Amino acid sequence: RLLVRDAVRTQGRLQPDVALIYAALSTDAAAAQRSLQDCGVGDCSVVISPADGREDALLGTATAFAVAESHTASGGHSVVIIDDVAPLQAFWESASTLLQAHLGTTGDPSEVRGYYGVLTERAGCLTPALGSGTLSALFLAANPSERRRAGAASTGATDRVYDLAEFTGDKYGPKVRARLQLLANKGVPITAATVKKLSIPVPEAPASGAALVHVDHLMSLSDGHISLDPGLAREGWVPSLD
């Protein structure tokens, strides 16, 4: 979200007449509004804050696009920010569970594309005959491995003892494995805290397949998409557009 704030701040400075519609799916509405005010775009922004619930996340997202389309139809320029894709994914999975329970079938993974396409296809640039308005959309999706690490930290799973066999791949050279073997021989448990002290990265389990499928479909639907790159942000690029 810090990267989004940089992008929003720059957008407001370069094009202050753009309407910003923020769908706060996993952010407190008041906090989102304060953040937009801090970026200097509070006076031209709308925060959509759906009630709790998976279906409300989808309704909130659709509402954000509807508000933006109204502004765009009058020749204005709009930017929709969906602050978290996870609730939309949760709604899809919930609907699939209901289909399985009542009809004995689930949503086909290929249909995920159509699910998001209904939203992403609303972004675009109108022709002069239609007023030349534009609608841009920004979907925030956390890296699945980052979500997993956050979940592990909240449940205390960071105390898990790793097996030496998990330290494989190019980032774990012979010297690294030798150091870990030495610790294991001394009876030192190989935990996240232990390897962190040695500046050794923690092994990661395979990322969530479902999460990756949803993000991949969003990226493929966004023809000519632009992403916010944390690496560029660390190098001082603001906004960190890739």
| Domains contained in the chain, CATH given | 2-143+207-234 (3.40.50.300), 148-197 (no CATH)
Q: pLDDT (tens digit, 9 = 90+) per residue, 40-54?
A: 776 778 888 887 666
CB-based contacts of 16: which residues, under 8 Å, 6+ apart? 41, 44
CA distance 239 to 228: 8
Q: Please provide the average confidence, as pLDDT, over all residues in the chain.
A: 77
> What is the predicted pLDDT for the residue at 68?
92
Question: Between vectors from CA 57 to CA 55 and to CA 62, what angle results, nearest 5°?
Answer: 100
How many CB atoms are closer than 10 A to CB 117?
Answer: 15
> Would you say 71 and 18 are in contact if contact means Cβ atoms under 8 Å apart?
no
> 3-class SS at 228?
strand
Give me the long-range contacts of 228-235 (CB less than 8 A, separation at least 24).
228/3, 228/4, 228/7, 229/3, 230/3, 233/2, 233/3, 233/6
pLDDT (tens place) for every residue of the chain, 242 residues total: 666 677 777 766 667 778 889 898 888 888 888 887 877 776 778 888 887 666 788 889 999 999 999 999 989 888 898 888 888 888 888 887 887 787 777 666 667 888 888 888 888 888 888 888 989 888 887 655 454 444 454 444 456 788 888 887 666 778 788 888 998 899 888 888 888 777 677 776 544 555 666 777 777 776 556 666 777 777 887 766 66
> What is the predicted pLDDT for the residue at 224?
58
> Would you say 61 and 86 are in contact if contact means Cβ atoms under 8 Å apart?
no
